[in-house]
């Protein structure tokens, strides 16, 4: 099947950001993509207001997702992204949603909040408590993760042991010394840890690096974006996945179980 990762610069206006998502969905559908992964926290962002994503939080019945649901009804593609959903006064949950045929078919509340490199996501965002679900896309099992989750191999491994063939990762990877290196290394490492395909979409712009990647189960980059707005595609298939797992049976050879969720 064909998979896609789209990246763009998130603005301070949710309606403009929704229009950009819709445009990427239309383009991906025209290329017969079965799965499109968009970046993390797409409602709103501004360099001069680091709290805008939370301030702009909407419910899953809000105007932002309504526009994306309407576009989703026009095809059978699965679209994965995250947005902030209100939780309590002044707080929100970083929520991944998977859309198909106009409906939210799965959701996941981000487990690992980005409290690192002088940023404290937990100051205004509540962490999830549940391991994300698997969804089926054209016969392949897709595990769901969000941004900072990439640094925690236990989650990717848990999803693979539950049957994931592919991992979908919306992200907004913040710029900084060696951060591009961390991103490329970790994307390849999680694919190798799990012998899964990995579709990682990163927001681009002044704050975040972009560099969306589609990686195969041997950690080989099948398609990669620059730091500019872009939509990338690659073909994934179960035959190659099975060949890799036959030659490199790391999931079967494991001697330790992944740690349980605290």
pLDDT along the chain (262 residues), means of 10: 98 98 98 98 95 97 98 97 96 98 98 97 97 97 98 97 98 97 98 98 96 98 98 97 98 90 76
40 is annotated as an active-site residue: yes
The rounded distance, in Å, linking the Cα atoms of 80 and 102 is: 13
Catalytic residue from among 69, 109, 110, 204:
110
Domains, the chain, in order of start with CATH, read 2-245 (3.60.110.10)
Catalytic residue from among 21, 147, 196, 204:
147
**Predicted local distance difference test score (pLDDT) of residue 19:** 98
The rounded distance, in Å, linking the Cα atoms of 257 and 212 is: 30
């Amino acid at each position: 099947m064909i998979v896609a990762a789209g990246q763009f610069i998130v603005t301070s206006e949710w309606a403009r950001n929704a229009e950009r998502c819709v445009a990427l969905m239309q383009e991906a559908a025209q290329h017969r993509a079965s799965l499109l992964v968009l970046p993390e926290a797409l409602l709103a962002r501004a360099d001069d207001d680091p709290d805008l994503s939370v301030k702009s939080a909407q419910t899953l019945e809000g105007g932002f997702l309504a526009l994306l649901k309407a576009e989703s009804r026009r095809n059978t593609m699965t679209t994965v992204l995250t947005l902030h959903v209100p939780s309590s006064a002044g707080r929100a949950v970083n929520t991944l949603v998977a859309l198909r045929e106009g409906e939210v078919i799965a959701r996941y509340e981000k487990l690992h909040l980005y409290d690192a490199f002088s940023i404290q996501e937990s100051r205004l965002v509540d962490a999830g408590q549940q391991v994300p679900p698997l969804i089926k896309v054209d016969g392949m099992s897709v595990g769901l993760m969000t941004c900072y989750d990439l640094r925690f191999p236990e989650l990717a491994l848990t999803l693979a042991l539950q049957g994931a063939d592919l991992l979908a990762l919306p992200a907004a990877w913040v710029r900084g010394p060696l951060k591009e290196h961390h991103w490329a290394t970790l994307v390849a490492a999680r694919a190798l840890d799990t012998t899964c395909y990995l579709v990682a979409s990163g927001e681009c712009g002044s704050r975040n690096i972009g560099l969306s990647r589609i990686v195969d189960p041997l950690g080989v980059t099948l398609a990669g974006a620059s730091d500019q707005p872009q939509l990338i595609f690659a073909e994934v298939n179960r035959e190659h996945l099975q060949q890799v797992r036959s030659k490199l049976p790391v999931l079967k050879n494991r001697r330790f179980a992944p740690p349980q969720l605290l």
